[in-house]
Amino acid sequence: MIKTLVMSRYIRPLGGIAIAICAVTWWMDLAEIVKTCPFCRTERTAIGLLGVLMVLPHYRYISIFLTCLVSVVGLVTASQHLFLMIKSWHFSSNTPLVIIALCLLSGELLLLIERTLLSRKSLKQ
């Protein structure tokens, strides 16, 4: 039986990277280096909030609720953003960034679910 999964060791450094990505992209938005987009703002905020949840200590039910809430909002927004681009056949230079945001949000969600499952297993033992 697996007691720890590989990525659970790196959850705090990965959370720090997510916070850094969020901070840099918000700086680029506020400095008007990139075009203002409400979808992008929601995605980068969700990435940052999930990064904060990855860095903070794990509280069983509060962490699960906040993780699900933030990740669902981020994933739905990134999916809608991508599908809007596909529907209108309007692919710009930001299309890869939307796909990366979708992948980042999915990865953070999986890491936080793994963290929850590991804490449940440790409570049972």
For residue 79, being part of any structural domain is answered with yes
32: left (phi over 0), alpha (psi -120 to 50) or beta: left
For residue 63, being part of any structural domain is answered with yes
- Tell me phi and psi for residue 44, to 5 degrees: -70, -30
For residue 1, being part of any structural domain is answered with no
Model's pTM, two decimal places?
0.68
Residue ranges in the chain modelled with pLDDT below 50: 1-2, 123
CB 67 within 8 A of CB 125: no
What's residue 20's pLDDT?
92
Domain that holds residue 74: 6-120
The count of structural domains within the chain is 1
pLDDT tens digits along 33-62: 878 888 888 888 888 888 888 888 777 778
